Structure 1
């Protein structure tokens, strides 16, 4: 038996291929559950299209020995060999019977990792996105490191997908516009994992959140594409309605009047049939409609809409929605010639955006007040400069 480490070009090439998520599929998980090295080797070769000779080069064994292992004629019993094979095949060592103190730490990470993601989402919704980032980043870093070392257990990858999504969304709140591509980067990375799961609800969520971060980063065409996909594959009405407000926002920002109107009508039509959330509720749709009317050039309609009383809240919405609505309504007031009313709304928005550390919203105030409200523009600029200093620190 050749016990070299197989570090030649072929072995390295095969190792790179193992960075795909083949071990995360339901079929693969069933194979891993057998704890049978023979079955795992056969499955690995079939999925990767390799011969016993190539697999032997990857593992540092000769072809005959690989054949004997697959047929169950030979067995690996020593911990060192089992750990070596697990590493080269990119499977968790415990499926081959290797355990060590790190396993307990890993189980604790999975147990508490899901709670960390849930609590971070609550923090973000409550206006504490910076705290959410601080909680999520250590978890994501650990999961990323484990994935880079070839750990592709299904529960790890599912947690990684959710953690990446939450981190990207939280970053989308706390980063200024010129850095929002970073938020979209993390939500995009979640899609790479999600594709390994046959889970329409999870895929819809990933596309929805990624599409919204693309919109904020100014990649409007890509945003509309991802959000349209999400709406098309949503498995339930609740999942679909969660996409529609974001699709309407992206379509409005793109200036796609027909898509904006059609999507918003669908959202209103289904509003009474689903549970309301911080995005799916009359208050949020009021702001989305107002912003979309402005973006699609229907100024008079926007002014009339802003003059109507906003609907009473049906749920407690996230604090950042208050800031978003203040800015959009302030913009409509300016279009109507009401500078005093706009100045009051935007000044309040600056104060709340500063308190909640929302640089993107301060940049919206800057654009809205530029050349029209010098004092408001200066206040927003000052608040933004302070946030930039804190972010860079």
Structure 2
């Protein structure tokens, strides 16, 4: 039976053991770790590579060494490994220079893919770039331009991982946005610092480190030097405050958000009327004001489309929570069903987990079962969770 190829970037960046194996640059170590994390036998790995099982066994046991570049390039290409890890290229060659030259475009295209609901594609675009830049930095050869690109790549990779990983593994996403913030603190670029604070704060919130998230997002509000950036910071701060059930902080943040929106000309994933409404409703529910949330939802019907496909799933979960609190079971179940379908389509396990909790709180057993089935299907696309993930 042919081996099923997994999404390589998710494997690489969600498990610390994988990163350690790649750092070793030892093909035997890498192959053993790849098989373990992907649940593959030597026979299935051999089928994936197009080799005999005995040949793979000899490599893993260091009885056979792949010295030719064509062979190593084949391993790297099929398994989705950065070429330099297997010594196919060097950090000074034209390949690296071209990667740096077009790195900004790679990150922008990955961000477009993520915002279009294709976060897995975004991860797979970003990881080769980040891997090469990490290797350059580890060797002490990171020029300022390289470090700047690495910081942007780390932030984009973390946010994309935060979209495709389930809740119990979101600390991996926060780790990458945190590494982006480390560089941002030293670059002297206020706009990027504000961006890194927003992204890291939001991933910390999703990983259930809400107090730390509030600290980062409050600072993001203060250092943002443009209206859209500050509006996005207020949006994320309002969400974090709601999860802390801090009504005063939520009201302050949502008021700041509204004031900036009222100026007009709003755009961006986090700075627009659709997102404002969702964050306001979720925060009111979280701070014990379900009646007010229901009143807003009834009076303020949606007139604009979500700015990205994933926001439809996010809003439908929130609508289900509001309807559940208002004892409108049928409406709540319909909204949550729509959310689960959209979340599975766009590979958003975190939103399915939100829907499952909302269904459980509302006693919607059938809906919860549908959500768990969808979550299992998505989890089957990821490698097993590592016991040493942070």
TM-score by length of 2: 0.73
User: Which residue among 283, 286, 293 is the counterpart of 2:284?
Assistant: 293
Q: Identify the residue that residue 273 of structure 2 maps to in structure 1.
A: 282
Q: Identify the residue that residue 228 of structure 2 maps to in structure 1.
A: 238
Instruction: Write the mapping of 1:45-194 to structure 2, written as runs, cut at 5 A.
Output: 102-194=92-184
User: Which residue among 280, 288, 299 is the counterpart of 1:308?
Assistant: 299
Q: Residues 12-43 of structure 1, C-alpha deviation per residue, up to 9 Å, x if partnerless?
A: xxxxxxxxxxxxxxxxxxxxxxxxxxxxxxxx
The 1:107/1:292 distance shift into structure 2, 3 A limit, reads: same
| Mapped pair 1:200 → 2:190 | yes
Given that residues 180 and 217 in structure 1 are in contact (C-alpha distance below 8 angstroms), is that contact kept between their aligned partners in structure 2?
Answer: yes
Q: Identify the residue that residue 375 of structure 1 maps to in structure 2.
A: 366
Task: Tell me which of the two structures has the higher relative contact order, counting C-alpha pairs closer than 8 angstroms and 6 or more residues apart.
Answer: 2
How far apart, in 2, do the equivalents of 1:260 and 1:311 lie?
Answer: 22
Q: Identify the residue that residue 211 of structure 1 maps to in structure 2.
A: 201
CA drift at 1:101: 8.9
Q: Identify the residue that residue 251 of structure 2 maps to in structure 1.
A: 261
Given that residues 306 and 333 in structure 1 are in contact (C-alpha distance below 8 angstroms), is that contact kept between their aligned partners in structure 2?
Answer: no
How far apart, in 2, do the equivalents of 1:179 and 1:288 lie?
Answer: 24
How far apart, in 2, do the equivalents of 1:169 and 1:262 lie?
Answer: 26
Q: Residues 147-183 of structure 1, C-alpha deviation per residue, up to 9 Å, x if partnerless?
A: 0011121110011000000000001110000000000
SS of the aligned residue for 1:196 comes to: helix
Given that residues 306 and 312 in structure 2 are in contact (C-alpha distance below 8 angstroms), is that contact kept between their aligned partners in structure 1?
Answer: no
Given that residues 283 and 310 in structure 1 are in contact (C-alpha distance below 8 angstroms), is that contact kept between their aligned partners in structure 2?
Answer: no
Given that residues 228 and 268 in structure 2 are in contact (C-alpha distance below 8 angstroms), is that contact kept between their aligned partners in structure 1?
Answer: no
How far apart, in 1, do the equivalents of 2:219 and 2:358 lie?
Answer: 32
Q: Identify the residue that residue 51 of structure 2 maps to in structure 1.
A: none
CA drift at 1:311: 4.2
The 1:101/1:175 distance shift into structure 2, 3 A limit, reads: closer
Structure 2: state its 5+ residue gaps.
1-89, 385-390
How far apart, in 2, do the equivalents of 1:102 and 1:266 lie?
Answer: 48
CA drift at 1:316: 5.5
Q: Residues 171-220 of structure 1, C-alpha deviation per residue, up to 9 Å, x if partnerless?
A: 11100000000000000000111122111111000001000001111110
Given that residues 121 and 132 in structure 1 are in contact (C-alpha distance below 8 angstroms), is that contact kept between their aligned partners in structure 2?
Answer: yes
Give the root-mean-square deviation of aligned CA atoms: 1.5
TM-score by length of 1: 0.72
Q: Identify the residue that residue 379 of structure 2 maps to in structure 1.
A: 388
How far apart, in 2, do the equivalents of 1:316 and 1:366 lie?
Answer: 22
| Mapped pair 1:340 → 2:353 | no
How far apart, in 1, do the equivalents of 2:175 and 2:157 lie?
Answer: 10
How far apart, in 1, do the equivalents of 2:275 and 2:380 lie?
Answer: 31
CA drift at 1:312: 2.1
Structure 1: state its 5+ residue gaps.
1-99
Given that residues 172 and 180 in structure 1 are in contact (C-alpha distance below 8 angstroms), is that contact kept between their aligned partners in structure 2?
Answer: yes
Count of aligned residue pairs for this structure pair: 293
User: Which residue among 316, 328, 333 is the counterpart of 2:318?
Assistant: 328
